[in-house]
Structure 1
Amino acid sequence: MPGKMTELEHYINQQRTEPDNYTPVFYRLQHEEQYVDLLALLKNNPHIRVYDEIYSQLRELMKIRNPTKRLTEEESEQKIREYVGTTPIHAVGVWVYYPWSHRVVHIVDEKDFIELRTSRNKQKITDEEIALLNSKKIGIIGLSVGQSIALTLAMERVCGELRLTDFDKVELTNMNRIRTGIHSIQVHKVIIAAREIAELDPFIKVVIFKDGATEENLDDFFTKGGNLDILVEECDGIDIKILSRMKAKALGVPVVMDTNDRGMVDVERFDLEPDRPLLHGFIPDIDLKSLRGLTDAEKLPIFRPMVALDDMSERMKYSLGQIGKTITTWPQLASSVVLGGAVVTDTCRRILLDHFKSSGRYYVDFEQILV
């Protein structure tokens, strides 16, 4: 047995730490140098898996472009031939390499990809609205609750750019509400979310901040590459809750927050109400430096009005009283977190399309709706 353990330890020690790569690589084979680069990649890395289902995408593209007629197989093939023209089928669209999963995927290029990806959104979201949303930038602070929000925003394609910030890495205890596999333990939460978004839609721009939101990087988070259109705030740090709202108010950026209890969503329209008090006036007059490093139990009295603790569910109130006794932090359920992803995405879309103009606190409380 000792000999076997030594051998196992040898293989364990041979494993390389996974790089924090989350950006896909594009190869457009109409360009000879990119064709050569892709061939070299595949030749030097025979373990890479190749997925080429371009014909399926082209058939779907022809189908959605001809909604009034059920195309026969021959008609579909004819339209594909007209679409492709003289371009070899392997050079149609773009090949996308995902280095973290060792996959290369052949897809139609960005314009056609977005048309296909959003075709089932119409007419609940119009073509004009889809194009407008593609120009929008949303920032998310906190990737526990925020992960579900980020993925739902990307899935519905409510924006063209997401900025994600969280300093934390995944632990097994996080996986009651964070969608990932056990191989992701000790991987940054922002990396996990960015990778899943890239695998869903490689054309959505994702910018990450692995150090979390800090006083030093909030300017870049809000403004680098263009101002945010919406801030989604889901962090535990009271100082950052306040600082990020101060920055949002100064820039006229609306803030949306989900508390993942009773389906409560908080909206602050600093874009429409520049003089609106932060968090509806519930933020205490306190030195921000004194808020850093507080335990969850120490945060509770300050958090209470800020996140409407007195209006939370009975089980949540009881749980909060158990912090430091039977539990180490406040609970978060997958069902509540996923609901938050849906409610925040819907709210953000309607804000960006100028369909929703209010500030306030709103509830989608299943215990009140389903009785």
Structure 2
Amino acid sequence: MTDLRSLLAAHTETRREEWLYTPLFFRLRQEDDRRRLQDLCRCQNDLVMLNPFRGQVEELIKTRHPDRQFSREELQAAVDEYLGDAPEEKGVWVYYPWRKTLVHLLDEEEFVFVRTNRNRNKITQQEQEVLARKAIGVIGLSVGQSLALTLAMERVCGEIRLADFDTLELSNLNRIRAGVHHLGMPKVIVTAREIAEIDPFLKVVCFADGVNEENLDRFLVEGGRLDILVDECDSLNMKILCRLKARELGIPVVMDTSDRGLLDVERFDLEPDRPILHGLVDGLDYDTLKGLSNQEKIPYVLRIVGGDAISARLRMSLLEVGKTVCTWPQLASSVTLGAAVGTDVCRRIALGQFRASGRFYVDLEQLIADGNCLVV
């Protein structure tokens, strides 16, 4: 293993630290990890140490015995028994270099058990174990950021691959959950860090140059073939290319469009001859879609999403791209809805509970604003 001092030194070179997104783990019952942590404490003068461990142990004990009502004294006695004479050796200490913060957590199995306990039984324990073996890739981290975070919170997979070449801009903050202190940082790093802070045991792989013709195969298969591909990229030629590759590999594709709750599902794992994007791009020359401006993309976007099917406000905005607006609009509420619907469908695909392909709408304006809802 790389010497800790060398590792930290590498991370603090000019601008290197801001790209870091992987936490470090220290299990103090192992002598080498104890030495490494001591080394960290000596060389990191402004280290912040957080120890919320006892509260996690309380939760662990209660979730293991949901049928038992502990008195305060009984619970504290059970916690003390769990901690033993060396509580610092229980669990794992997780260091987040970008925050210079060390946190004492339950180790992976117990951490995951407690963190996902409130999923029961909308997601059963057995289903959670199946999901932990799944890998999902997300291309494009505007809409995709919200979806990736929701996948992580629900723990719909054990590995998330993220791809986006872009950096965070101020105009992104109308829909991307981030802060002004993240401006100028790669979107993949912003997203990966937040996932690591939710669950440091989730495997996150970043493609900070996005996906392209050279690395798409690696994104889809390196370290094991993806179980699901989520496409949220703006590049039209990559939308086609990633589907061609996904179809070749038998990987289902899910895409949220953030308008009228539109979700596209293409089950290339079940339908190896299924037309790309439901046949809506048949006859399009892949090469002609490279490097188009936002304004030049509009006819192709309308062909894909359906000019008559989009909302009236999106239709009006598309006509103004390059005139009064820079690009097409996306609202946080629509992105959040897409994350919810996309995560639900990804989970059910991964569990074999959803086998359909097609185009699906969860149109809130139609369901609620027009009064088409159940009034109690």
Normalised by the length of structure 2, the TM-score is 0.92
Cα gap change, 1:273/1:301 in structure 2, threshold over 3 Å: closer, same or farther? same
CA-to-partner distance for each residue in 1:138-176, whole Å, 9 max, x for gaps? Answer: 000000000000000000000000000000000101111
> Could you tell me how far 1:340 is from its partner in structure 2?
0.8
Q: 1:21 aligned to 2:15?
A: no
Counterpart residue number, 2:7: none
**For 1:197, which of 192, 195, 198 is the aligned residue?**
195
Letter in 2 for 1:42: C
> Could you tell me how far 1:300 is from its partner in structure 2?
1.3
Counterpart residue number, 1:10: none
1:130 counterpart SS class: helix
Counterpart residue number, 2:99: 101
Aligned residues: percent identity?
Answer: 54
Counterpart residue number, 2:325: 327
> Could you tell me how far 1:85 is from its partner in structure 2?
4.5
Counterpart residue number, 1:133: 131
What is the RMSD computed on CA atoms of the aligned residues?
A: 1.4
Please identify, of 133-142 and 293-302, the stretch whose mean Cα deviation from structure 2 is larger. 293-302
How do residues 255-266 of structure 1 correspond to structure 2 at under 5 angstroms? Answer: 255-266=253-264
Letter in 1 for 2:31: E
2:308 counterpart SS class: helix
Cα gap change, 1:15/1:159 in structure 2, threshold over 3 Å: closer, same or farther? closer
Normalised by the length of structure 1, the TM-score is 0.94
> Could you tell me how far 1:301 is from its partner in structure 2?
1.2
Counterpart residue number, 2:285: 287
User: Does the CA-based 8 Å contact 1:284-1:302 persist in structure 2?
Assistant: no
Return the alpha-carbon distance in structure 2 between the equivalents of residues 16 and 369 of structure 1: 48
User: Does the CA-based 8 Å contact 2:18-2:185 persist in structure 1?
Assistant: no
Ranges in structure 2 where 5+ consecutive residues have no aligned partner: 1-12, 370-376
Moved over 2 A (4+): 14-19, 77-86, 307-310
> Could you tell me how far 1:73 is from its partner in structure 2?
2.1
**For 1:318, which of 302, 316, 330 is the aligned residue?**
316
Return the alpha-carbon distance in structure 2 between the equivalents of residues 271 and 231 of structure 1: 11
Letter in 2 for 1:34: D
Q: Give the count of matched residue pairs.
A: 357
CA-to-partner distance for each residue in 1:309-368, whole Å, 9 max, x for gaps? Answer: 431100000000000100011111111111111010001001111111111111111110
Letter in 1 for 2:142: S
**For 1:240, which of 215, 223, 238 is the aligned residue?**
238
How do residues 66-85 of structure 1 correspond to structure 2 at under 5 angstroms? Answer: 66-85=65-84
Return the alpha-carbon distance in structure 2 between the equivalents of residues 115 and 287 of structure 1: 49
User: Does the CA-based 8 Å contact 1:142-1:234 persist in structure 2?
Assistant: yes
Return the alpha-carbon distance in structure 1 between the equivalents of residues 149 and 108 of structure 2: 19
> Could you tell me how far 1:274 is from its partner in structure 2?
1.0
Return the alpha-carbon distance in structure 2 between the equivalents of residues 102 and 209 of structure 1: 24
Return the alpha-carbon distance in structure 2 between the equivalents of residues 290 and 307 of structure 1: 19
CA-to-partner distance for each residue in 1:83-116, whole Å, 9 max, x for gaps? Answer: 3445x10010000000011111100000000000
Counterpart residue number, 1:6: none
User: Does the CA-based 8 Å contact 2:246-2:253 persist in structure 1?
Assistant: yes
Counterpart residue number, 2:221: 223
1:186 counterpart SS class: coil
> Could you tell me how far 1:78 is from its partner in structure 2?
3.0
1:367 counterpart SS class: helix
Return the alpha-carbon distance in structure 2 between the equivalents of residues 92 and 189 of structure 1: 35
